[in-house]
C-alpha cells in the first residue's frame, strides 16, 4: 500500500472541505479504493500508487480553480474530478479579476474602462476624480490581477497619513494601531478580492505591503504594482519622492481627488503639481473620472454634484 500527502497551502481548508465536510466527502466518493484522512490543511492518502497519483492531479486542479475564481462549488468539483471541466466562466472585456466567492470585479463605467486600458499599456497612470468613482477599488483590482498573472512579484499600497480634521496622536494603541485606520480602505478592497487566509499569508510574507507614504523613502520598488492612494494629500516633495521610487518592471498607479485636499497651511498638493509638470511626458497617462462614474449609493452622485456647485 502506498502513502502520500497533499497540502492546501494558503487556503482555508473549509473552502475545499465544505461545511461538515460535504465537499471532502464528494471528493472521497470518486476514490472509493483510497483511504483519505484530513488533518487541517493536509490530506493523507493511502492506497494504490496509480490511484493516489490521479487523485493528486485532480486535487491540484481543484486548487488551481480556487486560486483563479476564489470559489469551488460541488458541481465544479464533480466536473474537475470527472474530467469534464473547462473554464466555463468566461472573461468579458470589462472583467478585471474574480473576487471572493467568484464575484466578478469589473470596470463598470466608461472612465473605469479607460483606466484599465491605459494601465495595461503604461507604467505610470494617474486616476483623478471625486469620491465613489471606483479609483482605489479599480486600482487594487488591477494590482491583484497583475500579481495573480505573475506580471509582478508584489503589491505595494500606500497613502499619506494626513489628519483630516482629526488628531492622529490621540488615537489609541501603537504606531500600527494609529496608522491602520488610514489604510483601511485598501484592506477593504483587498478583502473583497483575496480569501482571508491567503490575504493574511500574503501580508505576512510581504508579498502585499500596506504602509504610509513616509515609509517609502529610500526604497527602490522593482517588479511591483504600486498604488499611491489619496495623492491629493501629498506635498510636492512627497510626490517627487514617491514617483522616483519606480524600479525595473514596476507599474505605478496614483489616485486622488482634487476637491478633498487636507494639507495644512495651504501647502500645494503634490497631485496638482504633478498634473502641471508631467502632462507632456510620453508613457504617463491621466484619467479623469466624474460624477457619471460614481458607483456607490445613488445619492452620492447628487451629494458630490451639490458640493461642487457651492
The confidence band for 89, taking pLDDT boundaries of 50, 70 and 90, is very low
Indicate whether 306 pLDDT > 80. no
- CA-CA distance, 204 to 72, in Å (whole number)? 25
Which residues are paired to 104 by β-bridges?
A: 98
Mean pLDDT, residues 98-120 taken together: 87
For the CA atoms of the chain, what is the radius of gyration? 23
User: Rounded to 10 degrees, what is the CA torsion of 257, 259, 262, 265?
Assistant: 130
Percent of the residues in the chain that have a pLDDT greater than 90, as a whole number: 48
Pick the CATH number of 95-308 from 3.40.50.300, 3.30.56.10, 3.20.20.10, 3.20.20.70: 3.40.50.300
The owner of cell 479579476 is 97
Render 110-134 in DSSP notation, one character per residue: HHHHHHHHHHHH-SEEEEE--TTSS
2-82: CATH architecture: 2-Layer Sandwich (3.30)
Is the pLDDT at 171 greater than 60? The verdict is no
The per-residue pLDDT for 181 is 74
Model confidence at 88: pLDDT above 60: no
Q: Is pLDDT above 50 for 128?
A: yes
Residue 92, pLDDT above cutoff 90: no
- pTM of the entire structure? 0.73
Q: What are the residue boundaries of the structural domains of the chain, listed by start?
A: 2-82, 95-308
User: With bands split at pLDDT 50, 70 and 90, how would you rate the model's confidence at 177?
Assistant: low
Tell me what the mean pLDDT of segment 203-219 comes to.
90
How far apart (Å, rounded) are the C-alpha atoms in residues 233 and 97? Answer: 29
Inter-residue contact 159 to 229 (CB < 8 Å)? yes
Going by DSSP bridges, is the β-strand pair 124-128/208-212 parallel, antiparallel, or unpaired? unpaired
Q: Is the pLDDT of residue 90 over 50?
A: no
Element (H, E) at 94: none
Give 240-280 pLDDT, tens digit per residue. 999 999 999 999 999 999 988 888 877 899 999 999 999 88
In this structure, are strands 2-7 and 42-47 parallel, antiparallel, or unpaired?
antiparallel
Greater model confidence, 305 or 108: 108
More confident site: 235 or 70: 235
pLDDT grade, residue 93 (50/70/90)? low
Amino acid at each position: 500500500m502506498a502513502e502520500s500527502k497533499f497540502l492546501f497551502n494558503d487556503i482555508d481548508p473549509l473552502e475545499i472541505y465544505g461545511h461538515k465536510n460535504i465537499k471532502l466527502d464528494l471528493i472521497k466518493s470518486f476514490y472509493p479504493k483510497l483511504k483519505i484522512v484530513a488533518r487541517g490543511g493536509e490530506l493523507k492518502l493511502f492506497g494504490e500508487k496509480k490511484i493516489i497519483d490521479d487523485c493528486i492531479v485532480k486535487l491540484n486542479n481543484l486548487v488551481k480553480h480556487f486560486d483563479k475564481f476564489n470559489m469551488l462549488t460541488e458541481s465544479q468539483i464533480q466536473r474537475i474530478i470527472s474530467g469534464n471541466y473547462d473554464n466555463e466562466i468566461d472573461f468579458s472585456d470589462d472583467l478585471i479579476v474574480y473576487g471572493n466567492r467568484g464575484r466578478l470585479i469589473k470596470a463598470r463605467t466608461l472612465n473605469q474602462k479607460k483606466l484599465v486600458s491605459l494601465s495595461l499599456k503604461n507604467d505610470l497612470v494617474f486616476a483623478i476624480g471625486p469620491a465613489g468613482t471606483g479609483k482605489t477599488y479599480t486600482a487594487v483590482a488591477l494590482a491583484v490581477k497583475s500579481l495573480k498573472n505573475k506580471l509582478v512579484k508584489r503589491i505595494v499600497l500606500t497613502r499619506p497619513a494626513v489628519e483630516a480634521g482629526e488628531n492622529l496622536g490621540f488615537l489609541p494603541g501603537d504606531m500600527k494601531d494609529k496608522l491602520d485606520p488610514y489604510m483601511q480602505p485598501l484592506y477593504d478592497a483587498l478583502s473583497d478580492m483575496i480569501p482571508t487566509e491567503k490575504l493574511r499569508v500574503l501580508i505576512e510574507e510581504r508579498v502585499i505591503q500596506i504602509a504610509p507614504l513616509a515609509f517609502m523613502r529610500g526604497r527602490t520598488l522593482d517588479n511591483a504594482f504600486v498604488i499611491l492612494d489619496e495623492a491629493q494629500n501629498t506635498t510636492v516633495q512627497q510626490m517627487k519622492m514617491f514617483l522616483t521610487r519606480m524600479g525595473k518592471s514596476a507599474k505605478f498607479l496614483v489616485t486622488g481627488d482634487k476637491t478633498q485636499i487636507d494639507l495644512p497651511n495651504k501647502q500645494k498638493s503634490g497631485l496638482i503639481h504633478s498634473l502641471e509638470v508631467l502632462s507632456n511626458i510620453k508613457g504617463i497617462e491621466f484619467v479623469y473620472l466624474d460624477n457619471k462614474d460614481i458607483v456607490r449609493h445613488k445619492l452620492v452622485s447628487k451629494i458630490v454634484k451639490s458640493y461642487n456647485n457651492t
